[in-house]
Chain A
Amino acid sequence: MAYSDKLLDHYNNPKNVGTLDKSKNNVGTGLVGAPECGDVMRLQIEVDENGVIADAKFKTFGCGSAIASSSLATEWLKGKSIEDAIKIDNMVLVEELNLPPVKIHCSVLAEDAIKAAVNDYRKKNGLEEIQFEESVVH
């Protein structure tokens, strides 16, 4: 299977690998997937006083597509408001990275990780968690 140059670049030079201090109130953490499924993604956001994502970090256990999807997602998140962040559609990642059909679940996982991170932030800050519809493609 041939992967796109963009995907390979995110795999070889991933952006925003790292860990934010999850004890801080303005940091939201999303941990999705499971080791048995071969994919675990942890995505973190740091939100400034204006509700804008100032920093985003990830760590991912998974295939190259999962790593690239999370790397691209963190780039995409920076500078977005937390309201805009949850509007992400996994298909944006699919198109950008040219993911093959068997790898679409990697982009769904990234979408789920973003939503989980935003909800974690909301919960920490006394905001109501948003109920998302169950993603269909896994």
Chain B
Amino acid sequence: MLKLPIYLDHNATTPCDPRVVEAMIPYFTEAYGNAASRNHPFGWKAEEAVDYAREQVAKLINADPKEIIFTSGATEGDNLAIKGVFEMYATKGNHIITCNIEHKAVLDTCKHLEKEGAEVTYLEVSDKGLVTPEQVEAAIKPNTILIALMYGNNEIGTLMPIREIGAIARKHGVLLFTDGVQAVGKIPVDVKADNIDLMAFTAHKMYGPKGVGALYVRRKNPRVKVTAQMDGGGHERGMRSGTLNVPGIVGFGKACELAMNEMQQDAERLSKLRDKLEGALMQLEEAYINGDPAHRLPHVTNISFKYVEGEGLLMGFNKDIALSSGSACTSASLEPSYVLKALGLGDDLAHSSLRFGLGRYTTEEQIDYTIEAISKTVTKLREMSPLWEMYKEGIDLNTIEWAHH
């Protein structure tokens, strides 16, 4: 029997794997020591657990455990990496290269630094949502200190050519930071092979708990340092003060270990389900895939259904299926997704998009139900869409003088 509602919003967050929760529980009630308490068994036990988790996390990305700085999540990691590098390397330069579809935690951090004297280049992505290594290389200047580009995009799932960009960064002696939130745990990410110098990622996107993440900071070739953004006890090699979230870190470690072991089979299974979903929905007229089908995460797709509005579409099934839309009819600005707009999508297509993020517990039965529900709602809403009627009558919508609001 199919249980409703169905969760297909795994880019927003994932459920905790029960094996993760099980690993965490003793650290709330029994081994509750402070990992920084060096003088009694409670502290030792907590420190031991953190050390073990640090190994699990490091192994997943082919890093050394000493290169893992635990944080509260990826927003903190993004802030710490970008602001920390900007302050630490101030004498080397002030130029940062990023792109226009980064997460807000990166874009707004860059904007913040612009007020403090940073010079930021926002590379424009292609209509598929990618920047090329050539674009990056062309943007490098003598005062460039950091390239900040995401590994995988949260809305469209496209994967940047990080390995090639890493090689360029290395060649020019510029640091590479990547927001690995959507990619780590879903596809193999190797900080050594990719020449990544700093990378933020978080537990709750890979079946771990919310409120804990990590920043990878390279220690060798080159040794990278960031200026701490919070003052305090000097935890995490002085880069991130604050009592460690021991149960969260234990859960994060377990989630990384599970991802390491199960990533490949999860990815193979989910890409088949994703392709089935996408193939069926693309049977609808005037449906368009956003992003790059050749370079993207295995469990993600983003589709626009022209002539229906995304939020109106969601209302047709959102009590049964959890999805998100690129439409932002609820926001005060009424602006659709800046990511989709950056691909050059017209506002009409950007308003008409749905984002699907499949996950470890997604079943074929759920996908079949979703295909049915969405196809039915799209058809129904098109029957009541004046734009669909005009399209069917062969009227070019661009020739109409719209009363803009």
Q: Is the CB–CB distance between B351 and A38 below 8 Å? A: yes
For chain A, the count of residues having a C-beta within 8 Å of the partner chain is 34
Q: Give chain A nearest CB distance to B63 CB in angstroms.
A: 41
For chain B, the count of residues having a C-beta within 8 Å of the partner chain is 33
The chain B residue with its CB closest to the CB of A35 is: B348
A107 at the interface (CB under 8 A from B): no
Given A34-B405, A36-B348: A61 and B315 within 8 A (CB)? no
A90 at the interface (CB under 8 A from B): no
A60 at the interface (CB under 8 A from B): yes
B397 at the interface (CB under 8 A from A): yes
A58 to B402, CA, bound (A): 17
A63 at the interface (CB under 8 A from B): yes
Stretch binding the partner chain, chosen from A39-47, A48-56, A125-133: A39-47
Q: Is the CB–CB distance between A11 and B386 below 8 Å? A: no
A64 to B388, CA, bound (A): 17
| Among candidates A3, A35, A63, residue contacting B329 with C-beta atoms closer than 8 Å | A63
Q: Give chain B nearest CB distance to A56 CB in angstroms.
A: 14
B332 at the interface (CB under 8 A from A): yes
B399: A residues at CB distance < 8 A: none
A62 to B329, CA, bound (A): 9
A32 to B386, CA, bound (A): 11
Given A11-B315, A35-B347, A61-B387: A105 and B405 within 8 A (CB)? yes
A86 at the interface (CB under 8 A from B): no
Q: Give chain A nearest CB distance to B85 CB in angstroms.
A: 38
CB neighbors of B among A99-138 (8 A): 102-103, 105, 109, 112, 138
Stretch binding the partner chain, chosen from B23-31, B101-109, B304-312: B304-312
Q: Is the CB–CB distance between B389 and A67 below 8 Å? A: no
Given A14-B384, A17-B384, A64-B311: A38 and B389 within 8 A (CB)? no
A79 at the interface (CB under 8 A from B): no
Q: Is the CB–CB distance between A64 and B405 below 8 Å? A: no
A102 to B387, CA, bound (A): 23
A61: B residues at CB distance < 8 A: 307-309, 312, 385-388
A32 to B405, CA, bound (A): 9
| Among candidates B311, B312, B315, B397, residue contacting A35 with C-beta atoms closer than 8 Å | B397
CB neighbors of A among B249-296 (8 A): none
| Among candidates B310, B330, B346, B389, residue contacting A1 with C-beta atoms closer than 8 Å | B330
A3 to B405, CA, bound (A): 24
Q: Is the CB–CB distance between A36 and B404 below 8 Å? A: yes
Q: Give chain B nearest CB distance to A30 CB in angstroms.
A: 10
What are 29 A-B interface contacts by the 8 Å CB criterion?
A3-B315, A8-B315, A14-B384, A33-B402, A33-B403, A34-B402, A35-B348, A35-B387, A35-B397, A36-B348, A37-B334, A37-B405, A38-B336, A38-B347, A39-B329, A40-B387, A40-B402, A41-B386, A60-B385, A61-B388, A62-B309, A62-B329, A63-B315, A64-B312, A66-B309, A102-B330, A103-B330, A112-B403, A138-B405
Additional A-B contacts beyond A34-B404, A36-B347 (10; CB < 8 A): A14-B384, A33-B403, A35-B351, A37-B405, A59-B384, A62-B309, A63-B329, A64-B312, A103-B330, A138-B405
Closest 8 CB pairs of A and B: A34-B402, A36-B347, A64-B315, A42-B386, A35-B348, A63-B311, A59-B386, A38-B351
